[in-house]
Structure 1
Amino acid sequence: MTLFHARTGRLRAWARRTIWGIIVAGSLSAVVIPIFLIYRREGDNARSVVEVGPQGVSHTGDFTHVVGSVASVDFEDKNFRVHFEFTPHGTLAGDDGVLASAISVSLFYTTRSVDVTMMYMQGATIDYPFDMYKSYFEILANKDREQLHRIAVSLTFLGMLQTVEFVPVVHLDPSDTYKISLQILTRRSPRTIGFSLFIVLIMWAISIAIGIIAIQVIRSHRISDEHILTLGITTLFVLPALRETQLGIPAIGCAADVLGFYWNMAIIAISSIMILMTSALRWKEPSIDHEINLIHQQHDMQTKLASEMALAEDEDDYDDDENPVEDRMKENPFYSETHSDTQGAGVYGMECLDEEEQSQLMVTGSRSKPQTFKGWINNTPAPG
């Protein structure tokens, strides 16, 4: 089987579907794969945010190594929780790796792991997704009950949260080499900001589309069926749920809402009211002429679809189990059919009114049961 029809020179249906599948798969791969690689690269860079070696001593001397790892962030309460672990080195460590003597590290004096809640000094969630927060803390160590016996400290700070980016800045005091000061800037990750802006664009696209439909209904007299009438009202309830899909978004009132959500809700609400009011004011009780026009439209549509089916059958442009024209005929609300296969030919029964019944409808406003006739779609005479 060739890719093209011998008579028309057009691509066959299966070839068109294959080409479109390749185009869609290639487009998705061109977007998804690079973004995934960027995600992995940023994740690797964030796994070891900052490292500070012991000041004033060598790596074989006496010092305490502190490892701080961010466990969680709460921008609403302006704090983040850091998990600290302490490891003694040199003469501070005994044979089994524990402390030879008690030491104090800031406010605690043990090598046991601890969780400390750090407070943010600056930042507000109202700026989401562009909000930034600052925190500052110092690490000191000395032997217990010997405040003048200072111990060198080394620090490793890890930030590994998916939706947050940490930018630590180390401050070393030349006059006090035993103290490590760390200022941490916390902000939303580029992935979080990008996804938030993507959701904002989606909400704008939906609201603009509904606004265009409202203009078409008012100015161009577009038919507003039950789907058009309920579309805007349904979207008003869907939009808040779509907003909540933004990662870590606070309560309504942040910068992302000013960029889109407020205006989107207003556009959709106004458009829905305009569509409903226009449909209510323009509604008229259907006349007999309207029903006759529907009958003519039914007949024209059946004739057109039957011609398309015959043409598609000649070009072998569809499978026996997949007939797009037949599906379109079934979707016609005026169409009823009885179908049977006889040596590859389809017999289709179509309901319509003859001229006598149309005249009766125009005079009396009513009609008897429509006459049913059967005709072969290949233009052979109707049986009987």
Structure 2
Amino acid sequence: MPRLNAGWISLFIASMAAIVLLVPVVGYESFKEGTKNKSKYSMSPRSNAYGVNVSSDGLANADTNWTDASLALALFVTVDWFDPNKAGATLGFHIDYYPLNGLVAGNATISGAPSVPVRLLLQSATSNFAPNTIMPSLAVSEILDGDVNRYPFDVFTVDYLIYAFTSPSNTTYGTPLPLTVYAEGAVQGFKVDTIFQGLEDDGSGVQITFVIKRSPITKAFSVIIIIVMWLLSGGIFIAAMSVWFRERKVELPLIAISTGLLFALPNVRNSQPGIPNAAGTTSDMVGFFLEFVVGCGECDFFDRKFRDQEQAC
């Protein structure tokens, strides 16, 4: 049995230590992401509560025609799914509405129904709600900006605008309605962040920016798979160099192993979580194409060497 020198033993110990250290670090990052609280944004810039009269600090609001500052609307945005492999990566989420403060009148016949007409101007639709009627949730799908070819370090973003008004008729927008927005949800294999930005001084408009990245575990797993592919092709390359420089005889098992590597690499590549089916990503350029080319060269070298040996006999 061949003996391992100190260099190979040190390399093995260092590799195992790196993997052991990587596991708790990635696990801790994923734990923090999984236990992160809901994001909250209160849209009244001059107050920190749901629909508190924004004129309470003495600032003039004549330009906003603010007559019902005590009314407010809460929005719960829940991320449902995300598919980066569709044409123009698509994010699916739904919005639930809950009237607050004076928007829920004591004489409302249905719990949670608005006491006055409400109009929501969404980026993709306009919704009108009659008084004393349930405000059903709205399912939304948006196309995000991003390049999946940068896997596993691709980033996707989209801005979604929401405006709210009390609508006295179908021809006018009515009075601006302050918003309080919550966002939550998780997508397997991704890290979803939400950024809120107020658009109006009266609190009636909000821009929600979704930023979606691969989760730390996905990135770490992809990098480990790339390293594994390099080690596989590197091992066969070392064997080929040993045959070449030491003039060793090529055995059939060596040819079988190098040929099997060509079939194994695509499957190992596809084991990366969420990688696009079509090759051409950043990880492919770093951890698949070069190894595959090296593997093809090694197979050709072993085949030619084996044929030369057979002819020499």
TM-score w.r.t. length of structure 1: 0.61
Cα pair 2:30 2:215 within 8 Å, conserved: no
Q: Is the 8 A contact 1:54 1:63 kept in 2?
A: no
Structure 1 counterpart of 2:193, which letter?
Answer: V
From 118, 121, 142, the equivalent of 1:103 is 118
**2:280 is equivalent to residue 271 of structure 1:** no
Structure 1 residue 43 and structure 2 residue 34: aligned?
Answer: yes
Number of aligned positions between the proteins: 259
CA distance in 1, matches of 2:234, 2:17: 29
User: In structure 1, what is the Cα distance between the partners aligned to 2:303 and 2:209?
Assistant: 57
The answer to whether the aligner puts 1:133 opposite 2:172 as a matched pair is no
Highest RCO, 1 vs 2 (Cα 8 Å, sep ≥ 6): 2
Contact 1:123 1:133 (8 Å CA) reproduced: yes
User: For the residues of structure 1 that align with 2:18 and 2:205, how far apart are their CA atoms?
Assistant: 53
**For 1:277-315, what per-residue CA distance to the aligned partner results, in whole angstroms no more than 9, with x for missing partners?**
1011112687xxxxxxxxxxxxxxxxxxxxxxxxxxxxx
Preserved CA contact (<8 Å) 1:66 1:155: yes
What are the within-5 Å matches in structure 2 for residues 281-360 of structure 1?
281-283=308-310
Alignment of 1:172-191 (within 5 A): 172-173=198-199, 175-191=201-217
User: Does residue 1:53 correspond to 2:42, yes or no?
Assistant: yes
Deviation at 1:36, TM superposition (A): 2.7
**Alignment RMSD, CA only?**
2.6
Q: Report the Cα distance in structure 1 between the residues aligned to 2:182 and 2:216, rounded to whole angstroms.
A: 24
| Greater share of residues in helix | 1
Aligned counterparts of 1:97 and 1:168: Cα–Cα separation in 2: 26
Query: Cα deviation per residue 1:69-105 (whole Å; 9 max; x = unaligned)?
Result: 1111122322211111111112323362223344222
Q: Which runs of 5+ in 2 are unaligned?
A: 1-15, 52-69, 130-134
Deviations 1:54-74 (A, max 9, x none): 416643642111111111112
- TM-score, normalised with respect to structure 2: 0.74
- Measure the CA separation in 2 of the matches of 1:29 and 1:212: 27
Deviations 1:288-344 (A, max 9, x none): xxxxxxxxxxxxxxxxxxxxxxxxxxxxxxxxxxxxxxxxxxxxxxxxxxxxxxxxx
> Within 5 A, what are the aligned runs for 1:11-160?
32-45=23-36, 47-48=37-38, 50-55=39-44, 58-59=49-50, 61-76=70-85, 77=87, 78-93=89-104, 94=108, 96-106=111-121, 107-110=126-129, 111-120=135-144, 122-144=145-167, 145=169, 146-160=172-186
Cα pair distance change 1:167/1:37, threshold 3 Å: closer
Name the larger-Rg structure: 1
- Among the aligned pairs, what percent are the same residue? 19
- Counterpart residue number, 1:209: 235
**Structure 1, unaligned stretches of length 5 or more?**
1-24, 287-384
Distance 1:169 1:30, change over 3 A: closer
State the 1:34 CA deviation: 4.8
Aligned partners of 2:178 and 2:202 also within 8 Å: no
Native 8 Å contact 1:80 1:119 kept in 2: yes
